[in-house]
Amino acid sequence: MRANDRPFNLSYHYAVSNNAIKTSKYNIFTFLPLNLFEQFRRLANAYFLFLFILQLIPQISSLSWFTTAVPLILVLSITAVKDASDDIFLYMIVKFILLSSILSADLLLLSSSEPLNLVYVETAELDGETNLKVKQALTVTGDMGDNIDELAGFTASQQPSGQVQGTLTVNGQTYALDNDKVLLRGCTLRNTEWCFGLVIFGGPDTKLMQNSGKTTFKRTSIDHLMNVLVLCIFGFLASMCTVMAISNAIWEVREGSVFTAFLPREPGVDAALSSFLSFWSYVIVLNTVVPISLYVSVEIIRLGNSFYIDWDRKMYYPKNDTPAQARTTTLNEELGQIKYIFSDKTGTLTQNIMTFNRCSINGKGYGELFDFSGQRNTDKVDFLWNHLADPKFIFHDHSLVETVRAGNPEAQAFFRLLALCHTVMPEEKKEGELNYQAQSPDEGALVTAARNFGFVFRSRTPETITVVEMGKQVTYELLAVLDFNNVRKRMSVIVCSPEGKLTLYCKGADTIIYERLHPSCNKLMKVTTDHLNEYAGDGLRTLVLAYKDLDEDYMDDWKKRHHEASTAMDGREERLDELYEEIEKDLQLLGATAVEDKLQDGVPQTIEQLAKADIKIWVLTGDKQETAENIGYSCNMLREEMKDVFIVAANTAEGAFALEKDLQLELLRTACMCQTVICCRVTPLQKAQVVQLVKRYKQAVTLAIGDGANDVSMIKAAHIGVGISGQEGMQAVLSSDFSFAQFRYLQRLLLVHGRWSYLRMCKFLRYFFYKNFTFTFVHFWYAFFCGFSAQTVYDEWFITLYNLVYTALPVLGMSLFDQDVNDRWSFQYPQLYSPGQLNLYFNKKAFVRCMMHSCYSSLILFFIPWAAMYDTVRDDGKDIADYQSFALLAQTCLLVVVNIQLCLDTHYWTAVNQFFVWGSLAAYFAITFTMYSNGMFLIFTSAFPFIGTARNSLNQPNVWLTIFLTSLLCTLPVVAFRFILIQLWPTINDKMRHKVRKEALPAPAPRRLPTRRISTRRSGYAFSHSQGYGDLVTSRRFLLKKPLKSRLALTNIESFYCEA
């Protein structure tokens, strides 16, 4: 594309793409057809639509059309309202974010107001890291300042992908482009007055959208099982209807001809046609094996359990005023079946806040002090004596301040090194209000510590560093910066004090620095090593500090050779490394620092609880290996007794190749053999690939949790996606199914809400299938006594209200309030979670058991009332053995039995449960007496033909005796069978309920301080993963601040883009 040449770009077929993205499913015109299409893709909804059409055919239907139409319309309406509200909610959130100050396209940085054409960007929305990063424009475009109208360059780039590679051609010269010159969509511009950029990728072509992955409609494992069971039920229904149709044909041939004298057949209807029509009639009569109210109830249960998550005060984070949120209402029970958790590190397990925690100076340790009870026994150090101190800095060891203020030379040299040896860039907009721009939060923490202890890094030029030492301003001449890289694992600066003293200050990994110490430091090195072991045991990031006084003549010679090496055309890096090795030896040890990458509260305890629940936790992070390993130890995922530690590092050829098809299974097999899996240096798409690998081959329910845009593809790929909401942005939350502010809430989400939701849903399905199969099987047995004519055994109004009124609320009460044990016992015994992982509560075997139970109950419910009513007379000698009286008795027995079964299934009774059960029975009798009254018959004669049946039947003692006998025969075998199971094969839930009845409620778990471990594993951490800023800070043009010369100061984010 060409800059400032829109006609050319519009004529070029590839270059033009708009910056629009679409996150909503519907618009006002497509909502109704698309939503109905999606809903009728569900097999059950399509089936009930088919039933409704059948019921409109008079020759087939023996039931009124409204028995199916009303529930179907109700289901479609509830689901449509929910889908519309979810889509509108997502649209409003995305719209709000797009109106914020976040860059909304991938830009090639052209120029900025800052020295060296730098800009500072925050990438929290992309990777969860809150430290500012530096981007730098090309010199050729940066020199234009804000006169970008003069730019007439030509940009060539590859197709959108994870890496930016291209060229910029200006005035015939071609310049290479890379990621360091590109501002990505999702970044936030900080501490930069203005900048200009050229849009290179927009909309779906941006790196953020390319890495976001594809949004898929998630279904729970129970949903998938339900689809299989519904197909089986359809087959079973077809079998029953076929049996009924064949039986009808046989009956018509053998018995039907006898009745033709007073019940003549319609013209053209013979036994074969009657059998065919009977098949479809029984499809309608027996359709309650898959009641449509099942799906209404499932949606209500899921919605109710989602509200429990939203309302849970124990998952509310008051610091940020952030409640937990169930962003979807279709996945609650899946939370009770998680087997694998894939977690990001930065911002998810950690707070991404580095604090100077402890240090060792000249063999003496300083830092946090605890008494024997684990409580701090000192107050916070007061830094009021230092007017330049950072008020947010916290330290608890007063002795260190006293040592520094007393003039201890080693302590002062220690903090002087921290104030000088770094590449931090200061910013002071107001007097005394310092803001440090550090390449890594670790380095910022060390400079801030030096600032508070009296050695304040104030400003720098390419040749000098100004430090306020104990209130006195001192300016050091900066002679050289020996920058950090991943091979050196150390950084040094050479400075000259105002007195002319030349000193080299060095900090780095302990193993690297120890190799370069003077032999006189051996004793001090041993003591410092003990301190380092202690710090590493507490999971702290450690660095060793050393210095060396230099001779002036030697330094002059070294500088001359350094200049020659730095300007050499061949072997530049090797020659510089040799010079660095030469001067960085015979160092004098000063001490060691310990920086804490603060974990979020409760992370180790949460991981421990989830491990007890047999949940595997994999950490997928883009950090380097040492950082990932350190967090593994801090979280107690890795322990010292683990001798073989395998780290899958995706930045190596082997690591990336391991995700290829040929080695995927080997990688998975090896990883699953490990107690802990940490994948480091993985890209966002590789995170998703790991999740999909486990999903595909392990057949286990997965959960992904993260906080940044780099976690979005992983969150979308997992069965359950959880977003951590907080200071790191909203991209992960927007793509998640559940969100909250702290990682520790995950254990409550899974062990309490997830387990309860799964338990309730399984109980609901078992009971729902039981009561509806029982209801339907009674029709089946009755067919043998009505000539297979598809006559219903119950009153038509009872059939309509059975699932919608009489049995709806009791089962909802159980499914919304039931719990085997309370939340404290759930935390006390995480092993209660394991049945959900094994899918024990509802599976194909449980479904078959429900059918067998229903078959037995239906036999009792039909033949006991039939035998009791056969040739029975009233007390006054009148016959009551009519169809209407039998229908009333059968349906009353059915309703009483299914309510007793519900009571047996309920473990946790509330006033609401009681009201629903007794209220439903009362409603049944009230509605029955009303519908069977003289008044209803007179007003709606054809609709209410059962006149007087209720009062004539229910006043007979033998009717109530029949109800009691039927209930007893249906209930006693169930009670006996469950008693035997509990005695001989008790489940973990049975054992726990027995224990709960005997023991007092466990107290809330006390907060435990992490136990100290002895470790010899350390690393240098106070550096970024990439090359340092040494060359940048020593640039001759570092302080050239450029004003905005032309028309206006750009503050609107859209104004940063060059029109292309």
Residue 757 resides in a domain:
yes
* Sequence-separated (6 or more) residues with CB below 8 Å from residue 164: 106, 157, 177, 178, 179, 182, 200, 207
Average pLDDT over residues 993-1018: 65
- Specify the amino acid at residue 218: K
Q: Residue 315 has what pLDDT?
A: 95
Clarify whether residues 433 and 528 are in a common domain: yes
Nearest CA-CA partner of 905 in 810, 776, 775: 810
Confidence of residue 968 (pLDDT cuts 50, 70, 90): very high
Average pLDDT over residues 459-482: 91
Residue 1007 resides in a domain:
no
Counted domains in the chain: 4
Q: Residue 204 has what pLDDT?
A: 74
Confidence of residue 914 (pLDDT cuts 50, 70, 90): very high
Clarify whether residues 59 and 176 are in a common domain: yes
Q: SS3 of 436, please?
A: strand
Bridge partners of residue 196, in order along the sequence = 111
Nearest CA-CA partner of 339 in 810, 839, 818, 1: 839
Clarify whether residues 342 and 479 are in a common domain: no
Q: Check the annotation: does 687 bind a ligand.
A: yes
E strands along 164-249, which residues?
A: 166-170, 173-177, 182-183, 188-190, 195-201
614: domain CATH number is: 3.40.50.1000
Clarify whether residues 919 and 773 are in a common domain: yes
pLDDT at residue 731 above 90? Answer: no
Domain of 691, in residue numbers = 316-349+600-743
The answer to whether the CB of 206 falls within 8 A of the CB of 176 is no
Clarify whether residues 676 and 807 are in a common domain: no
* Sequence-separated (6 or more) residues with CB below 8 Å from residue 485: 1027, 1028
pLDDT at residue 1045 above 50? Answer: no
Clarify whether residues 588 and 606 are in a common domain: no
Edge-first strand order for the sheet with 720-724 is 325-326, 738-740, 720-724, 701-706, 338-343, 616-620, 677-680, 648-649
The answer to whether the CB of 1039 falls within 8 A of the CB of 431 is no
**Residue 383 in tokens:** 């830094």
pLDDT at residue 832 above 90? Answer: yes
> Is 344 one of the annotated active-site residues of the chain?
yes
If one counts every other C-beta atom within 10 angstroms of the C-beta of residue 355, the result is 19
Confidence of residue 748 (pLDDT cuts 50, 70, 90): very high
Confidence of residue 164 (pLDDT cuts 50, 70, 90): low
Average pLDDT over residues 253-267: 74
Clarify whether residues 292 and 345 are in a common domain: no
E strands along 725-812, which residues?
A: 738-740
Q: Check the annotation: does 484 bind a ligand.
A: yes
Nearest CA-CA partner of 319 in 631, 626, 705, 600: 600
**Average pLDDT value for the chain:** 82
pLDDT digits (tens, 9 = 90+) for 768-790: 999 999 999 999 999 998 888 88
Give the residue with greater pLDDT, 362 vs 373.
362
pLDDT digits (tens, 9 = 90+) for 388-418: 999 889 898 889 999 999 999 999 999 999 9
Edge-first strand order for the sheet with 106-112 is 182-183, 106-112, 195-201, 1057-1058
Q: Check the annotation: does 710 bind a ligand.
A: yes
pLDDT digits (tens, 9 = 90+) for 329-355: 889 999 999 999 999 887 788 887 788
Clarify whether residues 67 and 84 are in a common domain: yes
pLDDT at residue 898 above 70? Answer: yes
Among 711, 743, 775, where does a domain finish? 743
Q: Check the annotation: does 681 bind a ligand.
A: yes
pLDDT digits (tens, 9 = 90+) for 584-634: 999 999 999 998 878 888 999 999 999 999 999 999 887 767 777 778 888
Clarify whether residues 423 and 552 are in a common domain: yes
Q: SS3 of 900, please?
A: helix
- Specify the amino acid at residue 766: R
Q: Residue 107 has what pLDDT?
A: 86
Bridge partners of residue 355, in order along the sequence = 596
Q: Check the annotation: does 698 bind a ligand.
A: no
Clarify whether residues 956 and 976 are in a common domain: yes
Using CA atoms, how far residue 654 sits from 619, 651, 660, in Å, is: 19, 8, 10
Residue 39 resides in a domain:
yes
- CA–CA–CA angle 475, 485, 1027 (5° rounding): 80
The answer to whether the CB of 220 falls within 8 A of the CB of 302 is no
- CA–CA–CA angle 349, 353, 358 (5° rounding): 105
d(Cα 687, Cα 50) in Å, to the nearest integer? 44
pLDDT digits (tens, 9 = 90+) for 37-95: 888 877 778 888 888 888 888 777 767 776 677 778 877 887 888 788 877 876 776 66
**Whole-structure pTM value:** 0.78
**Residue 809 in tokens:** 């609320």
Among 743, 778, 812, where does a domain finish? 743
Q: Residue 1054 has what pLDDT?
A: 29
371: domain CATH number is: 3.40.1110.10
**Residue 132 in tokens:** 């500012």
State the burial class of residue 975 (Cβ atoms within 10 Å of its Cβ: 0-12, 13-18, 19+).
exposed
Clarify whether residues 576 and 557 are in a common domain: yes
Clarify whether residues 708 and 768 are in a common domain: no
Q: Check the annotation: does 541 bind a ligand.
A: yes
Q: Residue 921 has what pLDDT?
A: 95
Residue 1002 resides in a domain:
no
Active-site entry in 106, 127, 312, 344: 344
Q: Check the annotation: does 174 bind a ligand.
A: no
The answer to whether the CB of 549 falls within 8 A of the CB of 503 is yes
d(Cα 279, Cα 893) in Å, to the nearest integer? 28
Q: What share of the chain is helix, strand, coil (3-state, %, to 5)?
A: 50, 15, 35
Nearest CA-CA partner of 24 in 8, 35, 9: 35
Q: Residue 899 has what pLDDT?
A: 96
Residue 993 resides in a domain:
no
Average pLDDT over residues 9-30: 65
Q: Which residues of 699-736 are buried (b: 16+ CB within 10 A; e: fewer)?
A: eebbbbbbbbbbbbbbbbbbbbbbbbbbebbbbbbbbb
Give the residue with greater pLDDT, 897 vs 9.
897
